[in-house]
Amino acid sequence: MSVHRDSQLDMFAKAAPAAVKVRGPSRRPPSPPAGRSDEDMARTLEESGNYRILRKLTARPIATVRRPEFSRLGVVLDTETTGLSHRSDEVIEIGAVAFTFSDDGAIGDVIGVYGGLQQPSRPIPPEITRLTGITDAMVEGQVIDIKSLSRLIEPADLIIAHNAGFDRPFCETFSKIFAGKAWACSVSEIDWSARGFEGTKLGYLVGQAGYFHEGHRAVDDCHALLEILDREQRDGESPFAELFRASQRSRIRIFAEHSPFEMKDHLKARGYRWSDGSDGRLKSWWIEIGEDDLDDELSYLRAEIYRWKEADPPIVRLTAFDRFKA
């Protein structure tokens, strides 16, 4: 379980000294052999081919001056909640790391950090405590500081979450400061497989990138995700540059409304998902695709599903302002 820290926020204001709690007895790490640093020893082990070294991922310092070449503002955000439903469960922790970036997706500096806990209306389920390390005692009397959090969120050009389809509905239910913001998802809008990763969970991405961190606390996970997003790969393009480019493209959601019942297995095999209408969407099978794929998908539906060339299934165009909503 990670040690609870007070909320942090610095948008070019002087930061207060941080109080650090140390768990367990203090132990001095062994000194490396004379003339050899820890990094020298790590490289020697790696070069032998018999070892893989994980380096501790450390948070970036908060910059005191905003560089003009990084004119945009992004926020990496993470929530911990009492369950999976934004309609019936509650936010118990929010972490946010604000950073600058350029028009071409180059990350600049961290300019603000916030982390806060909130006491829910009901006790935290034991399975949530096991997953997050957050106990009822830790959140007792705690309230997320909306004013401090809004100083990061309101000027943001883009909010990034590692599963925005989960975090965005919770955040928009929690506070109106999240309404009308552009969101991006670092799970679904980055091709991690093409970058050599075999999974998309944050802990796996961190480990395969050669790091370890204090996971399962919101601010720690935000710092970790920012480092992975800024890791140059694939011809020098960072994952964040790919994510930012994807966030600027429109997506199309097609609803195969009134499709024949016997075609459901074909639609499912093609990647369509069923909506029962309870979330405000049409009661039908639906899929989300890129704009370039719209004509091909309509041709498929007309030829293979409806078998009627004039069929005109409903479509909705989505931007980063619309995607990942409930």
Please name the residue ranges forming H helices in 185-326. Answer: 202-208, 218-229, 239-247, 264-269, 294-300
> Quick one: average pLDDT of 276-305?
93
Note the pLDDT of residue 49: 87
What is each CA distance from 120 to 136, 169, 215, 232, 239, in whole angstroms? Answer: 9, 17, 22, 40, 35
Note the pLDDT of residue 40: 87
> Quick one: average pLDDT of 74-90?
97
Contacts (Cβ under 8 Å, ≥6 apart) of 54 = 207, 210, 211, 212
Note the pLDDT of residue 42: 86
Contacts (Cβ under 8 Å, ≥6 apart) of 113 = 8, 9, 10, 59, 62, 96, 97, 98, 219, 222
Residue that the structure tokens 């049409």 belong to: 282
Return the bridge partners of 126, or none: none
Structure token digits, residue 266: 């074909």
* Least confident interval from 43-47, 66-70, 133-137, 186-190: 43-47
Note the pLDDT of residue 35: 66
> Quick one: average pLDDT of 53-71?
94
What value does the mean pLDDT of the chain take?
89
Contacts (Cβ under 8 Å, ≥6 apart) of 194 = 234
pLDDT at 151 over 90: yes
CA 42 – CA 212 distance, rounded (Å): 15
pLDDT at 279 over 90: no
Instruction: Give residue limits of the domains in the chain.
Output: 72-248, 251-318
Note the pLDDT of residue 278: 81
CA 241 – CA 257 distance, rounded (Å): 36
pLDDT at 156 over 80: yes
Structure token digits, residue 94: 């929010």
Note the pLDDT of residue 9: 57
DSSP assigned state of 303:
I
The residue type found at 69 is E
> Quick one: average pLDDT of 64-74?
96
CA 14 – CA 65 distance, rounded (Å): 11
> Quick one: average pLDDT of 283-294?
94
CA 72 – CA 157 distance, rounded (Å): 6
> Quick one: average pLDDT of 116-123?
98
**pLDDT tens readout for residues 1-60:** 443 444 455 554 443 333 333 344 445 555 556 667 888 888 898 888 899 889 999 999
pTM, full prediction: 0.83
**pLDDT tens readout for residues 195-208:** 999 999 999 999 99
Higher pLDDT, 246 or 42: 246
Domain 72-248 in CATH 3.30.420.10? The answer is yes
Whether the CB-CB separation of 313 and 255 falls below 8 Å is answered with: yes
Note the pLDDT of residue 10: 54
Note the pLDDT of residue 33: 61
Note the pLDDT of residue 215: 67
**pLDDT tens readout for residues 165-222:** 999 999 999 999 999 999 999 999 999 999 999 999 999 999 999 999 876 689 999 9
